[in-house]
Structure 1
Amino acid sequence: MMWRIWRVMAAGGHMGRAMLLAVVVLLAGAGLLVLSGWFISATALAGLAGAGGMFDVFRPAASIRGLALLRTTSRYGERWLGHDATLRGVAALRLMVLGGLARAPWRQLQRQRRGAALAQVVADTDTLDALPLRVVMPLVAGLIAIVAVGGLIGWLAGGVMALWIAGTHLGGAIAAGLWGARRGPRTAAQELAARAAFGRYTLDLIAARDDLAIHGRLPHQLAQAMQAEARVAEMAALQDLDERDAALILDLTRAATMGGALALGAMGVESGAFGPAIAGACFFAALALGEATAPLRRMVTEYGRIRDAAQRVGPMLEIPAPQGTAQTGAVLPLTIGDLTLGAGQVLAVSGPSGAGKTTLLERIAGLGPDAEPPIRLGGIRPTDWDEGELRARLTMVPQRPALIAGTLRDNLALAAPVAEDAELLAALQAVRLDHLRGGLDLWLKDGGAGLSGGEQRRLALARAILRQPQLLILDEPTEGLDAATARAVLAGIRQALPQAAIVLASHRPSDLQGADFRMELS
């Protein structure tokens, strides 16, 4: 999953340039310290030997200035390109995730509509911006820098010195990573669970405050929210401890590497293998490589969050696209087993709760798997239709329609973006919803708050009328309405869509009267 997500985020190509600059930063920093160490030692020795006037200070000094300038500019470019590439990668990942969600099964989408679930998707994609910045680029750049500096030290001072400096830094990095891998993911998962619990309790305190107060549960709910917040703080403290432990491992490793480099340098000078200036360069190389492993201290805490988010986001990238092939034609006649429904006809589906009425409607709409009885739309299985072509001809109004925060006009425009106000008002009149104060400019809150349940359902029905479908599927369309209004609404829909075939499921006997066909489920 992690590799798949990285490929999506790195597809733009900017990541490679940012990673190259990250490598340049580390190599320039290491080169700056190595050259400085050699220069300081060499000038000191030249002075002691009385050869200071003959020592070339200009080229090493210019090289030091050049490396310092290169490091500064590369760091700026790496930050700029790295963050720009990450933002582009997160945007690409969001598009892929949303595309996967759009291809997800209907039942999964219904669950995903809940605020907490949708917020989790957004939070997970935001969390994954740390994958390139905190994991991939530091790891790749650090490994390249350690190998490159190890090769330089091997050329200057021999394999033993190179193996010690590069090997101990790699060993320390592995030890810190294993320490983080052992504790980090578990702590991150517990912290995320605590944050989710805190969010649920807090939202309930806001959205269900009146009900909680009426039933005397408000103090208990508040106590649970406070306990969840304390749990979040506890997990954050544990993550901070993990980071400090990793930092301690890395600091001890660097100290040991520097101490060993001093000892090996002294032995090399004593044996005549290399001079004191080279020994000084090796010591500073051991110091410089600490920058290459330093990002691991943040990585051990970030990796748990990243892996947890990747496990939820990754499957959304693997949801296959629909394989529908039908491009033209009509969805009518609708056949369900031996029953055939044509234009202008109504099929009423009834039965007790749990009998499968909603499942049948979802299958007709192409939102459920094939099963018995066989269903055909214009002679084609619903799941074989091209998604866009099917939605252009068929409209379904579920039991819990989705309304957005905005005006009535905004909600109706989802079905008919270019419709004139007169068309919108006609649709509202058909479902007896043209009496609302404020008219099309009436502002609704999220989920249609501001309207009663029956008014929300009628607004969804008006939106379906604007689609002018060949086949209209209604699941409990008159729930929450009195008998007179229910009859008027159904009559208005028939009048507004005289050529459409209608399939409706309802518990109300009055809704079933006048239907051309009846289907009783048990």
Structure 2
Amino acid sequence: MTALFRVFRRIWRRRIGALIVGILLSVAVLAAGLALLGLSGWFVTAAGAAGLAGGGLTFDVFRPSAGVRFLALGRAVARYGERLATHDATLKGLADLRVALLEAMLRKPAVLLSRLRGSERLNHLTIDVDALDGVALRLVMPAVAAAVVLAATFFLIAWLVLPSVAVLEIGSYLVGLAAALIVAARASRKPSRLAQRSAQALRMRFIDMMRGRTELAVSGRLEDYRRSVLDAHQRMQHAQSRTDLVERISALFLGLAGSVAAGGALLVGGVAASEGRIDPASAALGFFAALALVETAAPLARGIAELGKMTDAARRIEAQFVDEPEAAPRRTALSPFASGDSSVISGHGLVYRRGNRALFEGLDFSVGRGETLALVGESGSGKTTLLNIIRGLVEPTEGIVCLEGLAIADLSEAERAARIGYLPQRATLVSGTIADNLRLAAPAAGDDMLWESLRIAGLDEVVTAKGGLQYPLGEGGQGLSGGERRRLAFARMLLRRPSVMLLDEPTEGLDVETACDILARLRSAFPRAAIVVAAHRAEERAWADRALEIRSP
């Protein structure tokens, strides 16, 4: 519940005025409903009693009927205003929460972000944020409004009818309300969580199926994916049906509590009326007010039934804020290797283990200005891992990597990004123009810089043939071939003009002539850059000045 409270505070702290207005209007709606039914019951009973007593001609029917119309219209207006104010504020609060979440994730260390599956995390966060729209609408505001109305009703019934009637009505109703909430909170926690998780699975599976429908159809697996989507949908419906059942059971408890309260009020009021302590109309007022009390907590039933999924969602949302941000650069001392090391990038005594297995150990290397080092070894030997260690995305088990005399671990993420360019195996492109994709690395870059990077990457003629920098790409770079996407990511990396370049299979998917041409252009354009390349092709190894073989011990 602590996480739920914190998320509620994040959503509503900038819109506390709208929350107060919503609560006041909710109170007005409930009060108007209670007054409407109570006044109507009193009016009908009083009019009938006056007619039986022969005083129908003198009975004032105009003011009570005007009161009934006023309460009916007022209730509708208050309901409309409450929905307008609270839903508008809720949607704006959730929008603010989404922005805050993205900002919090951007503050995390790159090593943590590199482990995330972007689409999966975005899907989970989207559904989790959507699940929190009921925190205020179906929990906080109905609970506060119900408490205010019940307290006010108690004093009004005690004043207008009898204190004993007020105690009986409110007491029995509170007992039934407590029973309903306890049952709902316990019985709905698991199914509401399952419904939330099934919704996430359904969304992910459906997106994956639609994205890969062509490949799935060709491989004959489309029907299997369709069945997995339907399976997630059925599990979500089953869990939702159980949640609905809990809500109906809660409503049954509330209805029984209302029946007990109404029956008790009718009995006590009838006895009091027969004894002459109150008139029949007042007894009817207490009876109909008891019937109307059920409405005060009806909005809470759904909120309590969804408490499980809202609590889980709040915990996952809060986890994005409580994770420690990247530590500030320490710079307590220079690396012990820095004083006599003239290289741009170097590694000393590097060891990396996965569990009990060492990928490599005792690795030393240094790359000076204008030098190229090729990392060679069998697939899975640790070449990509070493590049990630050099970039600062992965911490070595032992050893140290230095960039121009400073340990990589002592540099901030912004400093690493400004000085080290990295072309990973799986570079990401986004929907938008070619210029949009390039400017992800350098938002202020002019068109001339973009074209120069495209020329070095051997993609300038391709882009010209497609219509220029404003050529639109689909999701993941659709509109370009695999090799063209690779070269576009390469061109984007070059825009920062880094002094150190880390290239993981830079010519993958290119023919020999194109690969040799691009490598020659790169060195010609950046003659002073220190380059480390994970080389899988003979062309890449021949291009490098020297090689470092990586072998498992």
Distance 2:279 2:548 in 1: 97
2:176 to 172, 175, 190: 172
Distance 1:380 1:268 in 2: 90
Match of 1:447 in 2: 476
Distance 1:173 1:401 in 2: 56
Q: How far off its partner does 1:404 sit? A: 0.8
Distance 1:17 1:369 in 2: 52
Q: Deviations over 1:462-515 (max 9, x none)?
A: 001112223333223222233333332223223333343333333335424454
Tell me if structure 1 keeps the 8 A contact 2:134–2:303: no
Tell me if structure 2 keeps the 8 A contact 1:194–1:229: yes
2:392 to 346, 352, 366: 366
Q: How far off its partner does 1:82 sit? A: 0.2
Tell me if structure 2 keeps the 8 A contact 1:324–1:383: no
Distance 1:280 1:109 in 2: 66
Distance 1:376 1:268 in 2: 91
Task: Verify: 1:511 aligned to 2:540, yes or no.
Answer: yes
CA spacing shift, 1:56–1:182, aligned 2, 3 Å: same
Distance 1:107 1:168 in 2: 58
CA spacing shift, 1:354–1:166, aligned 2, 3 Å: farther
CA spacing shift, 1:91–1:197, aligned 2, 3 Å: closer
1:233-312 equivalences under 5 Å are 233-271=237-275, 273-312=277-316
CA spacing shift, 1:360–1:442, aligned 2, 3 Å: same
Instruction: Name whichever of 352-361 and 446-455 sits farther off.
Output: 352-361
Q: How far off its partner does 1:9 sit? A: 0.6
Q: State the secondary structure of the residue aligned to 1:440.
A: coil
Distance 2:181 2:307 in 1: 10
Q: State the secondary structure of the residue aligned to 2:151.
A: helix
Match of 2:325 in 1: 321
Match of 1:357 in 2: 383
Q: How far off its partner does 1:187 sit? A: 2.3
Q: How far off its partner does 1:258 sit? A: 1.2
Task: Verify: 1:462 aligned to 2:491, yes or no.
Answer: yes
CA spacing shift, 1:342–1:300, aligned 2, 3 Å: same
Q: How far off its partner does 1:229 sit? A: 3.8
CA spacing shift, 1:418–1:3, aligned 2, 3 Å: same
Q: Deviations over 1:217-242 (max 9, x none)?
A: 44444444444444444444434333
Q: How far off its partner does 1:446 sit? A: 0.8
- Structure 1 unpaired stretches of 5+: none
1:92-491 equivalences under 5 Å are 92-106=96-110, 109-110=113-114, 112-199=116-203, 201-203=205-207, 205-271=209-275, 273-325=277-329, 333-337=344-348, 341-369=367-395, 371-436=397-462, 437-438=465-466, 439-491=468-520
Distance 1:140 1:347 in 2: 68
Tell me if structure 2 keeps the 8 A contact 1:100–1:318: no
Distance 1:66 1:377 in 2: 77
Structure 1 counterpart of 2:155, one-letter code: G
Tell me if structure 2 keeps the 8 A contact 1:103–1:320: no
Q: Deviations over 1:16-49 (max 9, x none)?
A: 3322322232223323434444455556556666
Tell me if structure 2 keeps the 8 A contact 1:465–1:497: no
Q: How far off its partner does 1:90 sit? A: 0.5
Q: State the secondary structure of the residue aligned to 1:255.
A: helix
Instruction: Name whichever of 445-454 and 301-310 sits farther off.
Output: 301-310
Distance 1:409 1:398 in 2: 20
Distance 1:326 1:463 in 2: 30
Q: State the secondary structure of the residue aligned to 2:531.
A: strand
Structure 2 counterpart of 1:501, one-letter code: A
Q: State the secondary structure of the residue aligned to 2:448.
A: helix
Structure 1 counterpart of 2:443, one-letter code: P
Tell me if structure 2 keeps the 8 A contact 1:111–1:117: no
Distance 1:235 1:113 in 2: 27
TM (norm. structure 2) is 0.82
Tell me if structure 1 keeps the 8 A contact 2:111–2:392: no
Distance 1:478 1:372 in 2: 31
- Structure 2 unpaired stretches of 5+: 332-337, 349-363
Structure 2 counterpart of 1:362, one-letter code: N
Instruction: Name whichever of 193-202 and 477-486 sits farther off.
Output: 193-202
Tell me if structure 2 keeps the 8 A contact 1:246–1:296: no
Q: State the secondary structure of the residue aligned to 2:532.
A: strand
Q: State the secondary structure of the residue aligned to 1:294.
A: helix
Q: State the secondary structure of the residue aligned to 1:293.
A: helix
Structure 1 counterpart of 2:473, one-letter code: L
Tell me if structure 1 keeps the 8 A contact 2:123–2:204: no
Tell me if structure 2 keeps the 8 A contact 1:188–1:305: yes
Distance 1:451 1:405 in 2: 12
1:492 to 497, 521, 528: 521
Distance 1:359 1:16 in 2: 54
1:11-26 equivalences under 5 Å are 11-12=13-14, 13=16, 14-26=18-30
Distance 1:277 1:149 in 2: 17
Structure 2 counterpart of 1:409, one-letter code: A
Q: How far off its partner does 1:15 sit? A: 2.3
Distance 1:399 1:380 in 2: 27
Match of 2:11 in 1: 9
CA spacing shift, 1:259–1:380, aligned 2, 3 Å: farther
Q: Deviations over 1:28-79 (max 9, x none)?
A: 3323434444455556556666677887777766665655554333322211
Q: Deviations over 1:155-195 (max 9, x none)?
A: 44454322322233223233333333333232233334444
Tell me if structure 2 keeps the 8 A contact 1:90–1:125: yes
Structure 2 counterpart of 1:4, one-letter code: R
Distance 2:384 2:155 in 1: 68
